Amino acid sequence: MRIAILQTRPVFGEVARNLSRIERLCPEQTDLIVLPELCTTGYQFRNGRELRSLAEPSGGPTVEFFTRLARQHRCAFAFGFAERAGWRIFNSAALVGPRGLVGLYRKVHLFDRERDLFAPGDLGFRVFPLGRWRVGLMICFDWIFPEAARTLALAGAQLIAHPANLVLPWCQQAMVTRALENRVFCATANRVGGERRLPGRGLRFTGGSRIISPRGEVLAEGSKNKEQILLAAIRPALARDKRVTRKNDLFADRRPELYRIRQPGARWQRLTRS
């Protein structure tokens, strides 16, 4: 599979302009292109009314735009957008191919002010077929919860597409661990630039998008402040092999019966006294 990340600098509220910029940046001869979180609208909404005015249903014009682009380039797209579903608004990611919507994910772990604006995701962590590949979706702050990537990996994901709007400095390095501990490919598509739409609440996005192998190798890395196209060729066989040594298998060696949290009982107390 040939994968690309578009590290973009969206202009807040300028949806048509942002989509036009994405169209101009699209590389040829790729199988999957991953874009940042909320890549069509920008991130720093002043209030729920503003967010609702820019949100769209999962079958709306943005998904239609990416479907047309997928047909034109014979590829698929994973991207973040503000999804309107009835009276609720979700911070969502879509996987779209030439025939339309392949999969939808709604952000489970909301970050900071997102908790005041978006409904918590209710679809769980699901894996979607894309040709010979199985692709999982997560968004930005999900990175800090290892359960998110592990759930996708246990469900069969070989590649985790990870749209992001990162402002904290730790994710890019942490995703090496997420890839390594699950033996999956990870594609974190971050944005660059900044937004200052609230008094005293300016945001600076950290760029540094990355494509990482199941062995923890950084296959491609973006700058901290420039729009860029990152490219890498990846092989599904690497993500199917969970062996760490000849005698160790990453998933077969798990001991889930011992991972439950238990309060110390009488037997535990006896053992610790002996």
Backbone torsions φ then ψ of 7, nearest 5 degrees: -90, 105
Q: Exactly one of 26, 39, 107, 114 is catalytic; name it.
A: 107
Comparing CA positions, the residue from 163, 171, 43 lying closest to residue 113 is 43
23 is catalytic: no
The span from the CA of 31 to the CA of 158, in Å, is 15
64 is catalytic: no
Nearest 5°: the CA angle 127, 130, 133 is 80
**Please, are residues 220 and 210 in contact by the beta-carbon 8 Å criterion?**
yes
Residue 210 · residue 173 · CB < 8 Å: no
Tell me, yes or no, if 226 is annotated catalytic: no
Q: Which alpha helices (DSSP H) does the chain contain, by range?
A: 15-25, 48-54, 61-73, 114-117, 146-154, 171-182, 236-240, 266-273
φ and ψ at residue 89, rounded to 5 degrees: -120, 130
Identify any residues that bridge with 210 across adjacent strands, giving them in sequence order: 188, 221
CA distance 177 to 188: 13
* Length in residues, the chain: 274
Catalytic residue of the set 39, 140, 171, 186: 140
Nearest alpha carbon to residue 12 among 198, 191, 197: 197
Among 26, 37, 171, 186, the active-site one is 37
**Which residues are identified as catalytic?**
37, 107, 140
